[in-house]
Copies of this chain bind each other. A is one copy, B any other.
Amino acid sequence: MNMRETFPFTARIGMRALLLSRMTQPPPSVAIGPPLQRSPSTERVVRPTARDVAQLAGMALGTVSRVVNDVPTVRQDARDKVLAAMAELGWKPNAAAQHMRGRASRIVGFIFSDIRNPLYASMIKGAEDVLSRQGYTLMVSSSDGLPEREIALLDLFGQRQADGLIFAISQESHAGVQATLSQAGYPFILLEREMALRAGSVGADHDGGTRHATRYLLELGHRRIALVSGGQDNRVGRDRLQGFVDAHHAAGVALDPSLIRHESFAEEYGFRQTQLLLDHAIPPTALLVLGQHLLRGVLRAIRLKGIAIPQQLSLIVSNDSELAQLATPAISAIRYDAYALGREAAQLLLQRLREGPDWTPTRIEVPTEFVLRDSCAAPPRATPSPSATAASSRTPRP
């Protein structure tokens, strides 16, 4: 017999105890913990099953299933009885059991370094708005930028039967992650990345954005434009550098390699490299900061030196941020719609899920936009350096 205790479960009004905050907590570790340990005394609330519904409705188990799955060959009165029983018991089909019978889990994983990055938060919301409408639920996890954790998460999503994954991998070339990914058993979409794997990808047009911004500076007359960035190991970094170089070529302006610093996205790197650049024998008249966190460090270094923006130094940042908008002066920025990026990623994944493994991997590009604020001006007439005065001509690009 399968009869259970009565429903519904009553809610008791509980008293509240006021605790003073306890805030001790060891730092996050890499391990996901014993993936699915034995749970000693898993107190599970007694939930009704389809069998209970069938019994209450006086129908067979199969009929309950047919009703929830909208199989047309169910007589109206039978359907009504089942529906009534469902409502009475508050029964909802168990997704795990449905999945066991070959149904898709409708779970999509999402891995990024840290959800506190507002860009990721927007991407998640964009993806969620698309996916939730199709009955998918998002499982999100932070990798904290650790490939080992990414691997663990990839395995975890496998165990958890995810139908697909949206992934902003930390290091495109990490062999372990690549290997895990290629055997993951579920399709994935790369965010702002590119790999030699059969995967869709979605990214912003950083190439075009950076080219546009660089050309703008060149047209203002700048001839020594510095670049501070990170990420040699991902598509974003490569695209940005490409745009920077292309703009110089197109303008016929020689590019001084000593003005390019692209080893890290860290704030301190921005601080240090800006100091070095400003101390350069022939310092740059404009600075392209490609990385949100870098900007803080860059601004600190500029202020420390007492350099005036934009009179002595023009500044452009990518991507846009509150800091860029609210700084004094407001910083011109290369921006893109992160929400749209997430939305496109979700749509691409859905398409892949619809079309199956024969699907042709696709890359979707989201446009970037150059937002002109108060941080750009023509270069100062004479470079602060004693030498080189001929360089500061004001001609727009030839």
Contacts and interface: CB of A to CB of B under 8 A. Distances in A.
Interface of A: 7-23, 25, 28-29, 31-39, 41-45, 47, 69, 90, 92-100, 102-107, 114-116, 118, 121-122, 124-125, 128-130, 132-135, 137-142, 155-156, 158-161, 181-183, 185-186, 194, 196-199, 201, 322-323, 326-328, 337, 340, 343-344, 347, 353, 356-357, 360-367
Contacts of A16: 194, 201, 361-363
Given A32-B135, A133-B33, A365 B20 contact: yes
B33 A134 contact: yes
Chain copies in the assembly?
Answer: 2
B132 A95 contact: no
Contacts of A365: 18-21
A99 B107 CA distance: 15
A130 B33 CA distance: 11
Nearest to A17: B362
B159 A92 contact: yes
Given A36-B95, A322-B323, A116 B105 contact: no
Nearest to A205: B21
B102 A99 contact: no
A43 B356 CA distance: 6
A90 B159 CA distance: 11
B98 A36 contact: yes
B141 A138 contact: yes
A22 B199 CA distance: 19
11 contacts: A9-B185, A11-B198, A19-B362, A21-B340, A22-B344, A29-B133, A31-B133, A33-B134, A115-B121, A128-B141, A137-B139
Contact of A122 (B106, B116, B137, B138): B116
Contacts of A45: 185-186, 357
A38 B185 CA distance: 21
Contacts of A194: 16
Contacts of A36: 93, 95, 98, 103, 106, 135
A363 B18 contact: yes
Nearest to A180: B90
B128 A142 contact: yes
B322 A159 contact: no
A132 B121 CA distance: 19
B135 A34 contact: yes
Contacts of A97: 96, 100
- Across the A-B interface, give the 9 residue pairs with the lowest CB-CB distance, nearest first: A11-B182, A326-B326, A322-B322, A14-B198, A14-B361, A96-B96, A43-B356, A28-B129, A33-B135
A156 B134 CA distance: 13
A183 B344 CA distance: 36
A58 to B, nearest CB: 24
